[in-house]
Amino acid sequence: MSPWHVVGAPEEAWDGHLHGERVAGIDLVLVRVAGAWHALSDECTHAGCLLSEDGELLDGVLICNCHGSEFVPASGELVMGPADAPLETFAVRVVEGRVEVELPEG
């Protein structure tokens, strides 16, 4: 089985919109920033809030509104806590109009 999983068509999300998706048992948040797609773990590393429900994208930064942690969508890098760890990221590609995310096999 391929590690690439279809998560939807590009029309289902747009710049600045957070889109939550559960794929192969993994909760993901997808976002498109300036035309580039990013897939990250949907759970904030601070208190486990779902970014797709409690987050927003502001000036290119993914913000968890539960407690204010901030992350870089492209790398998952932590910009500001209270979280003390980055978000896990996953490769994204668009093939024949569908967004696909590469997940670990297993």
How many domains is the chain built from? 1
pLDDT at 80 (0 to 100): 96
Q: In a structure prediction context, what are the per-residue pLDDT tens digits for the chain, which is 106 residues long?
A: 569 999 876 766 676 789 999 998 999 999 988 889 999 999 999 998 999 999 999 999 999 999 999 999 999 999 999 999 999 999 999 998 889 999 987 6
pTM of structure: 0.90
pLDDT at 106 (0 to 100): 61
**What residue numbers bound the domain in which 14 lies?**
4-102
C-alpha angle with apex 8: 104 to 46, nearest 5 degrees?
55
Strand order in the sheet with 78-80: 55-58, 61-64, 70-71, 78-80
3-state class of 10 per DSSP? helix
CATH of the domain at 97: 2.102.10.10
pLDDT at 98 (0 to 100): 87
pLDDT at 104 (0 to 100): 85
